[in-house]
Structure 1
Amino acid sequence: MVPGQQLSAWRPPVAGVVEVLHARFTEHAYPMHVHDAWTLLMVDDGAVRYDLDRHALGTPRDTVSLLPPQVPHNGSPATSHGFRKRVLYLDMTQLDESLIGPAVDGPILSDPVLRTRVGQLHAVLTRRGEEFEAESRLAFVSERLREHLRPKAVRRGTAPSRGVARRLRELLDERLPDAVTLEEAARLVHAHPTHLVRAFSAAFGIAPHQYVTSRRVDLARRLLLDGRPPGEVAASVGFHDQSHLTRHFKRIVGIAPGRYARAGSGGGPPATRA
């Protein structure tokens, strides 16, 4: 790799995300090429110039670029020190073919909320075991993109439904140790994924992925106090591995699972004086 260049790429186990790419290039220029997925690009340092459908474009500061599938484009550094970028490649379940034309006409999106949401999605995609949160964040990113690409006349809002929220909570409680995807939950509850997350958050004041994590930590506490080892507990309650359990356990409870178990190994509460 050329000095000064860095690249990492992976395929997360999250439906709708084909690939994640984080890269820094100083000199590399992409030739004309196409993708079979939507390219959601954020440049964090420097700038990129590119041609899309014979139009010369760039990446203005604090914007998001959305390049549609099957439309040729290239790319090269627009500054002397190159650029640093984060890219999500999304499949057609997130944005359908009808939105390719609007994306060609307006690929540069100046939207601080969208940029923040895309950044949050990138952050969670770097952590193993957080697929449910990633699916929730992806749903809101995709919704925001559709709002930009569809005419205002066809946008429709949906009021949060407490019934939908209750059905989702029942499903999450029932499937607590198992991995339930947002798509599966939406199918079982008969609601759109984005509406599902929004309704649950509005009804209970917590996002579905946060609810699942806190319930799993709660269950882990009981199992640890029963004397079961942290690695076994992690698998039993639905965490990816022991480090995944430890990260969330420390954030919620304040100490690591092992220390929590040892602190509770005295056999019961302190004796009270008569």
Structure 2
Amino acid sequence: MAARPDITAWRPSVAGIEEVFHAHFTDHTYPMHTHDAWTLLIVDEGMVRYDLDRHEHGVLTDVVTLLPPHVPHNGGAATAAGFRKRVLYLDVAQVDEGLVGMAVDRPVLHDPALRRRIGRLHTALAGPGDELEAASRLALVAERLDRHLRSRPDSVRYVHDRRVAHRLRDLLDERFVEGITLQDAALRLHAHHAHLVRAFSREFGMAPHQYMTGRRVDLARRLLLRGMPASEVAGAVGFYDQSHLTRHFKRVVGTGPGHYARTRGASALSA
């Protein structure tokens, strides 16, 4: 009897990503099929072999695979141990459709930095509340994919634009509680979303989502010290829920919001 596959699939609320798909297969083999999206694949365990446009390819754990839309391919485990993979199905607008031929010729990308970025993107997509981070990471991934397909050298970079970086910071300062999508920010500032992320990161040493999270945590600290219950602070500062607040609060402050709030009472007693 075939083993039941371990599968998780969802559609995140991040523009440009049609589906996230995580799977562990031991004996499943995909027949020839197509997708209407770009398939961005990394393998965490094992090895996958597949045919694309009548040419055989293999996917190892240290590479990135990009399969173009509407081009037939199959796939299956290369060994009896099976494989574990993570896949993003990207909207066709994320990669220039004129580059489909290049992707058919070179679907396997040997780029450790790109693979790490894709892994971090999957992490950002794992739970609600980190949509800006995910959109920022997606923009940089899509830009690097485009560079690979056009055979542009890694030394190519956007021109450092301090003005747009400071305009984005002003916008985040205005909207950090209610939040803003990267696409909306790009429309407001008349700049490409990937350029926004790069310009901001160069100017301030952090990505836009990190800056916005820091502003939210900073406000949460003030509200907690004013006596607002931790259960109410998350919504007041823009986090998705209390667990979302706790995760980021611990990362920034070093302790959870509940413990942080209790230190206020201890200080008052000792005064």
Match of 1:263 in 2: 263
Residues 41-60 of structure 1 mapped to structure 2, 5 A cutoff? 41-60=41-60
Structure 1 residue runs of 4+, over 3 Å off? 265-271
Deviation at 1:269, TM superposition (A): 9.3
Unaligned 5+ residue runs, structure 2? none
Alignment length (residue pairs): 270
Partner letter of residue 257 of structure 2? P
Alignment match, 1:113:
113
Q: 1:219 Cα shift?
A: 0.5
The aligned counterpart of 2:220 is 220
Give TM-score, length-normalised by structure 1.
0.93
Q: What does residue 143 of structure 1 align with?
A: 143
| Residue of structure 1 equivalent to 2:15 | 15
Could you say which residue in structure 2 is the equivalent of 1:209?
209
- Paired residue type of 1:149: L
**Within 5 Å, which residues of 2 pair with 1:134-173?**
134-152=134-152, 157-173=157-173
Give the conservation status (yes or no) of the 8 Å contact 1:4–1:24: no
Whether the 8 Å contact between 1:46 and 1:82 is mirrored in structure 2 is yes
Deviation at 1:208, TM superposition (A): 0.9
Instruction: Tell whether the 8 Å contact from 2:65 to 2:107 is kept in structure 1 after alignment.
Output: yes
TM-score by length of 2: 0.94
- Work out the CA distance in 2 between the residues paired with 1:119 and 1:219: 30
1:264 is paired with a residue of what secondary structure?
A: helix
Q: For the residues of structure 1 that align with 2:2 and 2:226, how far apart are their CA atoms? A: 54
Letter in structure 1 aligned against 2:169: R
Distance of 1:255 and 1:49 partners within structure 2: 45
Q: What displacement does 1:249 show?
A: 1.0
* Paired-residue identity, %: 61
Moved more, 251-260 or 73-82: 251-260
CA distance in 2, matches of 1:42, 1:116: 10
Q: Which runs of 5+ in 1 are unaligned?
A: none
Deviation at 1:76, TM superposition (A): 1.3
For 1:55-76, what per-residue CA distance to the aligned partner results, in whole angstroms no more than 9, with x for missing partners?
1111144111110011111111
C-alpha separation between the residues in 1 aligned to 2:116 and 2:216? Answer: 28
